[in-house]
């Protein structure tokens, strides 16, 4: 019962945030200096045509009315039309989504592949040279600009060594370098979280018991401690969508990866506001959903977090 109550509360909070996001997106689109009516009507349009288009689009109505209509359109999956591409924004985003989801899966794979072993290693060598080296490396990963990492990987592994294609989309080989780029920069955070999670677990009584039984240290760390320490780190993926969305814009533009990040970047170049707003809205939505899922999963993993 109480879990259900908490769930409803979280859902309500997420709903409120989504409403707030739509408000901000709506207001932002009004701050833009360019007049969408003029853009649609073209330069030679008469004042009358402009007015009639304005009326047709409902842009002559009061703001609250327009906002309600905007919400209504959103509820029907209508994100507006791109100024430049003359297509529905929703269609554009929908067609780009699979590429971004692939990239995301690859990025998460490499983030965990780099972060988890590094974190385990650092916690096992806590305070020693190995720990310090691993943590400095994690800081380098976190501080490295994604576009530089991406371009350098392209230079070395695609240009010099010819192991991977020079950007583009289609096969598994195309996915490796962009995913590794995000994996290196995101893996730094995961290694730090993994390390502190491991250190917490390694101080618990049951670990002392395991050691007292005479279990070898590798077994204590890799079997007994790891199982408890790794789950909260994995649940962090839900909180990581924001990092990923930022990264997607950069990495997709470096590698010519046709996802929604590239869509946003192309829209920036021509100031195609409906597309920028659409992508921002979709990204914000996925962040809210990711946070909600993380909230949902955490208590399942760690019973101590359950509300009584």
Footprint of another protein (CB under 8 A): 13, 16-17, 20-21, 24, 28, 31-33, 127, 132, 136, 139-140, 142-148, 151-152, 154-155, 159, 166, 196, 199, 242, 245-246, 249-250, 253, 264-265, 268-269, 271, 273, 276-277, 279-280, 283-284, 287-288, 291
- Pick between residue 17 and residue 293 the one whose CB is nearest to another protein: 17
> To the nearest whole angstrom, how small is the minimum distance from the Cβ of residue 200 to another protein?
9
> To the nearest whole angstrom, how small is the minimum distance from the Cβ of residue 44 to another protein?
26
> To the nearest whole angstrom, how small is the minimum distance from the Cβ of residue 46 to another protein?
29
- Pick between residue 45 and residue 256 the one whose CB is nearest to another protein: 256
- Pick between residue 33 and residue 303 the one whose CB is nearest to another protein: 33
Q: What are phi and psi of 203, to 5 degrees?
A: -90, 0
> To the nearest whole angstrom, how small is the minimum distance from the Cβ of residue 138 to another protein?
10
Q: What is the CA radius of gyration of the chain?
A: 24
**DSSP string for the chain:** -HHHHHHHHHHHHHHHHHHHHHHHHHHHHHH-SS-HHHHHH-TT--HHHHHHHHHHHTTTS-HHHHHHHHHHHHHTT---B-TTT-SBHHHHHHHHHHHHHHHHHHHHHHHHHHHHHHHHHHHHTTTSHHHHHHHHHHHHHHHS-HHHHHHHHIIIIIIIS--S-SS-SSSHHHHHHHHHHHHHHHHHHHHHHHHHHHHHHHTSHHHHHHHHTT--HHHIIIIIIHHHHHHHHHHGGGGGHHHHHHHHHHHHHHHT--SHHHHHHHHHHTT-HHHHHHHHHHHHHHHHHHHHHHHHHHHHH-GGGS--
- Pick between residue 88 and residue 131 the one whose CB is nearest to another protein: 131
> To the nearest whole angstrom, how small is the minimum distance from the Cβ of residue 168 to another protein?
15
Answer for the pair 280, 25: CB distance below 8 angstroms, yes or no: yes
> To the nearest whole angstrom, how small is the minimum distance from the Cβ of residue 24 to another protein?
7
- Pick between residue 51 and residue 262 the one whose CB is nearest to another protein: 262
Please give the Cα distance from 88 to 81 (Å, whole number): 4
- Pick between residue 82 and residue 146 the one whose CB is nearest to another protein: 146
> To the nearest whole angstrom, how small is the minimum distance from the Cβ of residue 270 to another protein?
10
Please give the Cα distance from 38 to 91 (Å, whole number): 24
- Pick between residue 8 and residue 148 the one whose CB is nearest to another protein: 148
- Pick between residue 45 and residue 135 the one whose CB is nearest to another protein: 135
> To the nearest whole angstrom, how small is the minimum distance from the Cβ of residue 273 to another protein?
7
């Amino acid at each position: 019962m109480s879990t259900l109550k908490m769930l409803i509360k979280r859902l309500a909070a997420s709903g409120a945030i989504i409403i707030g996001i739509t408000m901000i997106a709506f207001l932002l689109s009004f701050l833009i200096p360019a007049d969408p009516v003029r853009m649609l009507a073209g330069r030679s349009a008469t004042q009358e045509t402009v007015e009639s288009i304005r009326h047709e689009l409902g842009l002559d109505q009061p703001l609250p009315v327009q906002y309600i209509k905007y919400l209504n359109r959103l509820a029907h999956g209508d994100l507006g039309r791109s100024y430049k591409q003359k297509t529905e924004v929703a269609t554009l985003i929908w067609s780009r989504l699979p590429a971004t989801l692939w990239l995301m899966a690859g990025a998460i794979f490499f983030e965990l592949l780099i972060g988890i072993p590094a974190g385990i290693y650092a916690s096992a060598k806590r305070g020693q040279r190995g720990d310090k080296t691993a943590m400095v490396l994690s800081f380098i990963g976190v501080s490295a600009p994604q576009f530089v990492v991406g371009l350098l990987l392209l230079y070395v592994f695609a240009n010099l060594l010819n192991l991977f294609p020079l950007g583009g989309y289609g096969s598994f080989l195309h996915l490796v370098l962009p995913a590794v780029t995000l994996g290196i920069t995101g893996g730094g955070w995961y290694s730090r979280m993994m390390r502190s999670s491991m250190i917490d677990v390694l101080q618990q009584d049951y670990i002392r018991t395991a050691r007292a039984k005479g279990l070898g240290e590798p077994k204590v760390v890799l079997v007994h401690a790891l199982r408890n320490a790794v789950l909260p780190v994995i649940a962090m993926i839900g909180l990581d969508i924001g990092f990923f969305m930022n990264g997607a814009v950069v990495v997709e533009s470096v590698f010519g990866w046709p996802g929604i990040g590239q869509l946003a970047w192309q829209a920036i170049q021509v100031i195609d506001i409906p597309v920028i707003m659409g992508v921002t809205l979709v990204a914000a939505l996925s962040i809210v959903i990711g946070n909600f899922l993380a909230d949902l999963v955490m208590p399942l993993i760690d019973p101590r977090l359950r509300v009584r």
